Structure 1
Amino acid sequence: MMIPHANLRIKSATPFASFLIALAVPNLAQAHASEGGFVLLLPTDVYIFSGAASVALTVLLLALLPERLLSPMFSSVPMSRTRGSLAPLITSTLVCLFLFWLVHVGRTGPRDPLANPLPLTIWSLWWIAFVFLQGMFGNLWRWINPWTGPVALARKILGIKPFMSFPSKLGHSPAVMIFLLFVAVLLADPAPADPARLAGYVGGYWLFSFLAILAFGPRWLHRGEGFTVFLRLYASLGVFGRIGGRLRLGLNGWQILRMRKAAPWMAVLMLVILGSGSFDGLNETFWWLDLIGINPLEYPGRSAVIAQNLIGLGVANGLLISVFAGAVWLGLRLAKADLSLGTAFCLFAPTILPIALGYHFAHYFTSFLVDAQYALAAASDPMANGADYLGLGTFYVTTGFFNTHDSVRVLWLTQAGAVVLGHILAVLLAHAVALQHFGSNRRAALSQAPLAMFMIFYTFFGLWLLASPRGF
């Protein structure tokens, strides 16, 4: 099946195939990216139970393995020595100029979100692809952060120095609030992919953060700027990291075992990342729509469920934090550990990040496969005026991989595999952290038993979300 970039008509599509495409490509209705409801064509119950069983077996194996076998798994090897460089400031400035151009095109270019480069870049290339790459490889954000270069130039040329002190008692709470506000827009805004609307959000937030960094200095960037703090957390999962001025390579998550205890608000943000991502999938399911009294077959539009989704987002995050804290507390009691609940919460919160990253990939995978093609077409003709800067010729967006049983199975197993691998890595990291602080394998296993049950349940939940029917 091919979709011409010049218009949004679907050629050679049966009604059922068109329904599948509507599920997989919700940007046609100016919504944000979604998972694919096509997984309902498969025997997903088998895969869900198999995935949860894999996590359960990992938990059992860790309880029986000798302690000395786990530590080498998260060791790292030294690579090249790193030196201070102006290169990140230069690339930051170039990315900032590109962002300004995107905002301009968002305001003056085509209003179709599948033809305008701004929503495709922000939602598909940055929010979906870049966030995943950050979690897989390490701190790529330092190269494209759109504020560090312009702030350095402003300080150099204008001589502006920080003139306000960031209140230490706030911790990272501004970053948590900004991230939650972003998720609220993603979930509740009636048209988050509308180019002009998105241009206002992006331009306004860039200016706000630029002025805040000038006023408070780098401390705002590391404690208040929500996306920098969020992406630094995912960078701690990457295979590449820096220690003592040297680049090192290890298994995903190795840096978490070398982190100091997370600050309280940072620990909360880690849980909020997972809770928000989960609710982003839950709020589209028939179950949720039935819960809030909406007929999924007569969906009234996003504007009709703004309040319900915002309340659901808050409840989902509050419930997740409470259940996680309860599992940590019960583990401390079983292991008879002398750690406080607050300390243990901050120690184990980073081990949740692999689950969040795995679900992020699975949640958006099918949408990215389609929207990345639209992004390529928009890059070749950003103003939708018939240009062809990349020499693509007559370009068609294909969704043919949604049409066959074999390709759908591959897509579903890729999504399910990402969820399961994220949970297995989380279990391994949690057990390794427990070994560091509780000593013996027996005490570590006891402390992790409630948390392991939580992760097994969350495996079921994550895979169920992928397989659930969508209301829009």
Structure 2
Amino acid sequence: MRRLPRPTRLARRAVTAVLAPLAALAAAGRVAAHAGGIRGAAASVTVPTWLFLATGGAVVGASFLLASAVTDRAYIRRIDTWGRTLPDAGRAARLLARAAGLLALAVTVAAGLFGPPAPGRNAAVLVVWIGWWGLFVLSAYLVGNGWPAVDPFRTVARAVPSLDREYPDRLGSWPAVAGLLTLVYLEVVTPLADDPRLLAGVVLAYLGLSVAGSAVFGVDDWFGNADPVSRLLAAYGRVAPVTRTDDGLRLRLPGMGLTDAGRVEGRDDVGFVVAVVFVTTYDGFVGTALWADLARPFVDIGVPPLLVYLLAMVAGYGLFLALYLASASAARRTADTYLAPGELARRFAPSLLAIAAGYHLAHNLGTALALAPSLAVVLASPLSPPAEVPVLLVPDWVGGVGVAAVLGGHLLAVWVAHSTAYGLFPDRLQAIRSQYGVTVAMVAYTMASLWVVSRPGGVPPFL
């Protein structure tokens, strides 16, 4: 495998121009997120919000202009395909990971049903929200996706005989889209992070659905198409620097798994990618004061809050999807190509996963770090933890890392879109012009994400 070329003068200037405002933004604020009783911290921005958001959008726009100056296809291809073979973990490590997954599932259910009711002391709450959603999902895009080896739902499902019915092609990824939206909706509108018994019930219901789906369609078809958790972590894993191939583990540059063609096969897969971007934004947005102001008139006239949240989720997802599909239609016009908008939407969609990974890091890093010591202490005695568990005081710079993660994810998305365009179009100007629409969508996503992480977090109102 070839070595990457040394950075050119243009590349050094590009890095300086992009990182300077990024560093300024990273120092400007602190990040907060909500999850019931186990989250909650104030966020503040020391510059005017309009300047904060405009600068973030300008960084993404400027990065597009700088990436457009890189027109050497061989150079782009070397960056995309660079890699090194890594030693395989081996069968023993995979068996150990499987056992760890089953143990985590057992602890979650047992602690949820029989452990203390206080969420900050309950192993089920901490395993799910800190160990899994905070740390394990984070590792999926920072290191690599180890979920197929760990996944306890898949392990249990493999022990059940299957009818091996053919999975309907027309369903595609839409069950995973619906499942992901449903899980996030339940996280928002129910006290899953406050009620260990309820959380254990949801985990058992998810296990039952996984076993039933696998019993009908087979484990590979169910977890490869319909299971939202497996699809989510596989999507995040494409951002990671380590991946599994037919030849074993391989090291690559972060995000370069997003440039592989064929991973997003239809509109259903596009819909899932957009859902991954949307759900974390929704989760953060419903804890802001703006959401309370928007929802209050509907609640005041008697609309049930659960319905208000549901309508907001459906409308918000539809808006995100419409914005992205509109960007693909714009790409067809600006590039003057015969490729259908659906094909362009499919090819550019993976770039959005870098955005989702950056926002997930910003949304969850502070909470995960603060409560990681609690998780370690509670796991030592999950059914009878000590009355007091440690909570780490997270320094302000963690919020800066979160802001940098949002912008870094968007900058990576710009490069992935640039690489994709040069793989699609033989003409350089056509490749550049094809990115106009998706860049506008990225700027909009950037400003929305930065606005959410700059707001004081809190528990969603009216519930």
What's the TM-score bracket when you normalise by the shorter of the two chains?
0.7 to 0.9
Q: Please list, as runs of the form range in 1=range in 2, the aligned pairs for 1:365-380 lying within 5 A after superposition.
A: 365-380=365-380
Deviation at 1:189, TM superposition (A): 1.3
| Whole-angstrom CA distance in 1 between matches of 2:93 and 2:163 | 23
Q: 1:397 aligns with which of 385, 391, 394?
A: 391
Secondary structure of 2:216 counterpart? helix
Mark the CA change 1:141 to 1:185 in structure 2 (over 3 Å): closer, same or farther. same
* 2:171 aligned with 1:170: yes
* 2:423 aligned with 1:436: yes
Q: Please list, as runs of the form range in 1=range in 2, the aligned pairs for 1:56-205 lying within 5 A after superposition.
A: 56-68=61-73, 69-80=75-86, 85=91, 87-89=93-95, 91-152=97-158, 154=159, 160-205=161-206
Secondary structure of 1:275 counterpart? helix
| Whole-angstrom CA distance in 1 between matches of 2:311 and 2:282 | 11
Deviation at 1:415, TM superposition (A): 1.1
Are the aligned partners of 2:116 and 2:383 in contact in 1 as well (CA < 8 Å)? yes
For 1:168, give the aligned amino acid. Answer: D
Deviation at 1:83, TM superposition (A): 9.4
Q: Please list, as runs of the form range in 1=range in 2, the aligned pairs for 1:269-280 lying within 5 A after superposition.
A: 269-280=272-283
Deviation at 1:384, TM superposition (A): 3.2
| Whole-angstrom CA distance in 2 between matches of 1:306 and 1:432 | 42
Q: 1:220 aligns with which of 219, 222, 231?
A: 222
* 2:455 aligned with 1:468: yes
Are the aligned partners of 1:277 and 1:359 in contact in 2 as well (CA < 8 Å)? yes
| Whole-angstrom CA distance in 1 between matches of 2:426 and 2:319 | 31
Q: Which moved more, 1:367-376 or 1:76-85?
A: 76-85
| Whole-angstrom CA distance in 2 between matches of 1:24 and 1:424 | 22
| Whole-angstrom CA distance in 1 between matches of 2:348 and 2:281 | 19
Q: In the alignment, what sits opposite 1:350?
A: 350
For 2:254, give the aligned amino acid. Answer: N
Q: In the alignment, what sits opposite 1:256?
A: 258
For 2:228, give the aligned amino acid. Answer: G
Normalising by structure 2, what TM-score? Answer: 0.84
Secondary structure of 2:346 counterpart? helix
| Whole-angstrom CA distance in 1 between matches of 2:81 and 2:172 | 31
Q: In the alignment, what sits opposite 2:56?
A: 51
Count of matched residue positions in the alignment of Structure 1 and Structure 2: 425
Secondary structure of 1:114 counterpart? helix
Deviation at 1:50, TM superposition (A): 3.4
- Structure 1 unpaired stretches of 5+: 1-20, 388-393, 402-406
| Whole-angstrom CA distance in 2 between matches of 1:413 and 1:44 | 15
Q: In the alignment, what sits opposite 2:286?
A: 283
* 2:307 aligned with 1:293: no
Are the aligned partners of 1:105 and 1:118 in contact in 2 as well (CA < 8 Å)? yes
Secondary structure of 2:456 counterpart? coil
Q: In the alignment, what sits opposite 2:21?
A: none
| Whole-angstrom CA distance in 1 between matches of 2:350 and 2:261 | 9
Deviation at 1:84, TM superposition (A): 8.1
Q: Deviations over 1:303-337 (max 9, x none)?
A: 97322221111111100110111111111111111
Deviation at 1:236, TM superposition (A): 1.2
Deviation at 1:91, TM superposition (A): 2.9
Normalising by structure 1, what TM-score? Answer: 0.83
| Whole-angstrom CA distance in 1 between matches of 2:375 and 2:89 | 35
Q: Deviations over 1:391-432 (max 9, x none)?
A: xxx854243x4xxxxx42x13321110000000000000111
Q: Please list, as runs of the form range in 1=range in 2, the aligned pairs for 1:353-364 lying within 5 A after superposition.
A: 353-364=353-364
Mark the CA change 1:48 to 1:413 in structure 2 (over 3 Å): closer, same or farther. farther
Q: In the alignment, what sits opposite 2:310?
A: 310
Mark the CA change 1:150 to 1:41 in structure 2 (over 3 Å): closer, same or farther. same
Q: In the alignment, what sits opposite 1:391?
A: none
For 2:121, give the aligned amino acid. Answer: A
| Whole-angstrom CA distance in 1 between matches of 2:251 and 2:385 | 46
Q: Which moved more, 1:355-364 or 1:201-210?
A: 201-210
For 2:57, give the aligned amino acid. Answer: A
Secondary structure of 1:248 counterpart? strand
Mark the CA change 1:43 to 1:220 in structure 2 (over 3 Å): closer, same or farther. same
* 2:329 aligned with 1:329: yes
Secondary structure of 2:170 counterpart? helix
Are the aligned partners of 1:33 and 1:364 in contact in 2 as well (CA < 8 Å)? no
| Whole-angstrom CA distance in 2 between matches of 1:84 and 1:373 | 30
| Whole-angstrom CA distance in 2 between matches of 1:90 and 1:470 | 38
- Structure 2 unpaired stretches of 5+: 1-29
For 1:225, give the aligned amino acid. Answer: D
Deviation at 1:191, TM superposition (A): 4.3
Deviation at 1:355, TM superposition (A): 0.4
| Whole-angstrom CA distance in 2 between matches of 1:395 and 1:288 | 33
For 1:365, give the aligned amino acid. Answer: L
For 1:56, give the aligned amino acid. Answer: G
Deviation at 1:60, TM superposition (A): 0.7
Q: In the alignment, what sits opposite 2:43?
A: 38
Deviation at 1:168, TM superposition (A): 2.3
Are the aligned partners of 1:185 and 1:192 in contact in 2 as well (CA < 8 Å)? no
Mark the CA change 1:145 to 1:470 in structure 2 (over 3 Å): closer, same or farther. closer
For 2:276, give the aligned amino acid. Answer: I
Q: Deviations over 1:331-378 (max 9, x none)?
A: 111111111111111111111001011001101222222222321231
